[in-house]
């Protein structure tokens, strides 16, 4: 059965999205073009859940485009991968939305708890795992070949076959998440999206974070008011008490402008 998605993005929205991530419009949907778009997205758009704590209305898929493009914000996997899916479709890539279960210390979380993409290019016999919305994810797409170790600036990754036709993603030998094989509609994630926004058990409500990788393979993460910088094999941590300094940290470290700061539970 063929899944029916919404209309393709118009050229103006595509151009604005490409400007947001600093990319040129590719001439063809090739593997090199996909790699460039993925890299620029991961390195430009932070993985963050601030609006959950501000109780701001949020949308997924195409409904997240304004937040990412016009407001120059980041988001979580449903927002980032859902929006990126729309961009890739408009650029001529054949893309599929996949549902996954995130592993927390080896235990799999709820079904449809994660969104990732499987993308086909014109010059590769294998599809690609694309994920610009995972805090421990890759900088580049992974070739969808189970059992093939793949080195990435963010670690050593490998896809592995899992029960019932699913596929596991491992990073440095540890399970990150498990993906279904069947394609999904973005709308399939709406019920879980409500749960993430309202359930007391939601990880997005229990933890406040904003994170982005650095060009040298490190990472900058603001967890509540604690800023952690990992770079050149080292790690530094500082607690930011001043509100103006906290706003400036969001602005300078992540490109995020916040007129209102999210509440922090101490």
Q: Over the Cα atoms of the chain, what is R_g?
A: 18
Check the CA dihedral 77-79-80-84 and report its sign: positive
Measured distance CA(42)–CA(241) in Å, rounded: 28
| Closest of 12, 98, 34, 56 to residue 204, by C-alpha | 56
What is the helix (H) or strand (E) element at residue 171, kind and residue range? strand 167-171
Active site residues: 77, 114, 131
Check the CA dihedral 188-58-43-20 and report its sign: positive
The answer to whether 188 touches 102, Cβ cutoff 8 Å, is: no
Classify the phi-psi angles of 118: left when phi > 0, otherwise alpha if psi is within -120 to 50, otherwise beta.
beta
Please state the separation of Cα 136 from the chain's center in Å.
9
Strand partners, 116: 98
Measured distance CA(104)–CA(245) in Å, rounded: 32
Measured distance CA(3)–CA(196) in Å, rounded: 25
What is the helix (H) or strand (E) element at residue 251, kind and residue range? helix 243-254
């Amino acid at each position: 059965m063929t899944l029916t998605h919404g209309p393709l993005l118009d050229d103006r929205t595509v151009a604005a999205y490409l400007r947001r991530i600093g990319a040129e419009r590719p001439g063809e949907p090739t593997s090199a073009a996909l790699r460039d778009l993925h890299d620029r997205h991961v390195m430009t758009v932070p993985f963050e859940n601030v609006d959950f704590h501000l109780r701001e209305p949020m949308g997924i898929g195409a409904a997240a485009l304004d937040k990412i493009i016009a407001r120059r914000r980041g988001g979580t996997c449903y927002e980032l991968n859902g929006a990126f899916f729309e961009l890739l479709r408009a650029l001529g890539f054949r893309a599929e939305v996949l549902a996954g279960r995130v592993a927390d210390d080896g235990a799999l979380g709820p079904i449809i708890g994660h969104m990732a993409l499987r993308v086909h290019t014109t010059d590769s016999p294998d599809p690609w795992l694309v994920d610009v919305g995972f805090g421990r994810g890759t900088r580049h797409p992974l070739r969808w070949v189970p059992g093939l170790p793949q080195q990435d600036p963010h670690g050593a990754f490998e896809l592995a076959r899992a029960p019932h036709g699913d596929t596991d993603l491992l990073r440095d030998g540890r399970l990150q998440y498990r993906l279904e094989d069947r394609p999904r509609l973005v709308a399939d994630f709406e019920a879980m999206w409500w749960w993430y926004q309202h359930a007391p058990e939601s990880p997005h409500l229990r933890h406040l974070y904003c994170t982005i990788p650095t060009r040298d393979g490190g990472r900058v993460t603001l967890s509540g008011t604690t800023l952690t910088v990992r770079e050149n094999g080292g790690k530094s941590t500082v607690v930011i008490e001043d509100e103006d300094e906290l706003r400036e940290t969001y602005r300078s470290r992540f490109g995020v402008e916040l007129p209102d700061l999210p509440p922090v539970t101490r």
